[in-house]
């Protein structure tokens, strides 16, 4: 006889959990939009330093026409948001629409204020602030810039150019326009702002507390594994491997620790086996639970 295992049913969330998740998402989308607006209005816009994409185009139009930045951002983004409906889904589009709306409101609240006239300070801190804001928005499944959405759509249709290459092309055009409009020094400061912001976005998306995955090959794997679980309170996993030269079966010990535990882990391993082979890699996101100590 053949026995078929039942598929594990997904855990259904309660109405309270769904409501808390919804409120949390709205809060972080609003916070991200306001942080981003503060970076634009307090640091970048008064010093004629621009961001890339739709935001950068909106900033240049604001300078040329003396119009409302928030209104330009909302109106230019609108067609791109609706274009993304089929590709990125209704949920993403609704959340993006909300985030862009909040950004338009926030720019009007911060408008007329500036933090510094120093170009370098404006570039660095403006980049940090807008990067943090965008990171929060992206982390909550939304976007503030329509060029990202149109790049995803075009890349899928053309199939000969990547999303990153399309974004780079669009931003290159935006910064060239900024060079003619504001001067080439402002264009270069704008590119530096974009670079700083991209690094901050990566940090927000990946988490500031990066973990390390560790692979250990040693004949004393059992003792090493037990010591790691006891001293660091993290779980380990064993894999069967085979040495390329020796052709002998080995046991690989795998675990994930945070960066502060890395030095202690090396010390523990080498105290048991000074010849142990260790490989470490950065881990940008970890989900799940650590090992639970048994109650005696």
Nearest to 197 by CA among 59, 79, 56: 56
Tally of CB atoms within 10 A around 42: 20
Residue 276 lies in a domain: yes
Place of tokens 């621009």: 50
d(CA 148, CA 61): 20
42 and 129 assigned to the same domain: yes
106 and 177 assigned to the same domain: yes
Between 11 and 102, residue with greater pLDDT: 102
Q: Indicate the number of domains in the chain.
A: 2
- Domain end, chosen from 163, 187, 206, is at 206
108 and 127 assigned to the same domain: yes
228: CB partners within 8 A, 6+ apart: 234, 236, 253, 255, 265, 268, 269
Contact (Cβ atoms closer than 8 angstroms) between residue 175 and residue 191:
yes
d(CA 235, CA 256): 8
21 and 92 assigned to the same domain: yes
pLDDT at 11: 55
Point out the least confidently predicted range of 106-115, 124-133, 202-211, 258-267: 202-211
Which run of H or of E encompasses 281?
strand 277-283
79 and 201 assigned to the same domain: yes
Domain, as residue range, for 218: 211-283
Phi-psi region of 214 (alpha: psi -120 to 50; beta: other; left: phi over 0): beta
- Mean pLDDT across the stretch 64-79? 91
Residue 90: both structure tokens together: 């209704």
CA-angle at 79, arms to 192 and 130, nearest 5°: 25
Residue 7 lies in a domain: no
- Domain end, chosen from 179, 206, 233, is at 206
| Interval 262-295: pLDDT, tens | 888 998 999 999 989 999 888 766 666 554 444 4
- Mean pLDDT across the stretch 87-93? 79
Q: Is the pLDDT of residue 123 over 90?
A: yes
CA-angle at 135, arms to 156 and 43, nearest 5°: 115
Residue 79 lies in a domain: yes
| Interval 203-243: pLDDT, tens | 887 765 567 889 999 989 999 999 999 888 888 999 988 87
Phi-psi region of 3 (alpha: psi -120 to 50; beta: other; left: phi over 0): beta
pLDDT at 31: 95
197 and 55 assigned to the same domain: yes
- Domain end, chosen from 206, 238, 254, is at 206
pLDDT at 292: 46
165 and 115 assigned to the same domain: yes
pTM to 2 decimal places: 0.73
């Amino acid at each position: 006889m053949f026995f078929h295992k039942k598929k594990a049913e997904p855990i259904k969330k309660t109405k309270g959990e769904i409501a808390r998740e919804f409120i949390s998402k709205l809060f972080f989308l609003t916070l991200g939009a306001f942080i981003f607006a503060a970076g634009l209005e307090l640091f970048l816009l008064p010093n004629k330093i621009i961001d890339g994409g739709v935001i950068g185009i909106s900033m240049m139009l604001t300078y040329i026409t003396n119009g409302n930045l928030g209104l330009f951002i909302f109106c230019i983004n609108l067609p791109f948001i609706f274009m993304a409906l089929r590709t990125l889904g209704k949920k993403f589009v609704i959340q993006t629409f909300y985030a862009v709306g909040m950004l338009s409101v926030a720019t009007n609240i911060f408008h007329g204020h500036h933090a510094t006239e120093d170009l370098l300070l404006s570039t660095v801190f403006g980049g940090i602030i807008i990067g943090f804001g965008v990171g929060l928005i992206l982390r909550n499944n939304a976007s503030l810039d329509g060029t990202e959405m149109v790049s995803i759509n075009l890349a899928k249709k053309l199939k000969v150019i990547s999303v990153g290459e399309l974004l780079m092309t669009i931003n290159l055009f935006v910064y060239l326009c900024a060079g003619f409009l504001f001067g080439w020094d402002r264009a270069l400061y704008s590119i530096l702002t974009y670079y700083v912001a991209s690094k901050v976005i990566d940090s927000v998306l990946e988490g500031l507390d990066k973990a390390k995955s560790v692979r250990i090959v040693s004949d004393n794997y059992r003792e090493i594994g037990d010591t790691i679980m006891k001293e660091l309170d993290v779980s380990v996993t064993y894999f069967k491997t085979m040495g390329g030269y020796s052709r002998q079966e080995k046991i690989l010990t795998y675990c994930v620790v945070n960066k502060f535990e890395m030095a202690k882990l090396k010390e523990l391993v080498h105290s048991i086996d000074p010849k142990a082979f260790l490989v470490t890699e950065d881990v940008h996101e970890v989900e799940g639970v650590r090992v639970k100590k048994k109650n005696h």
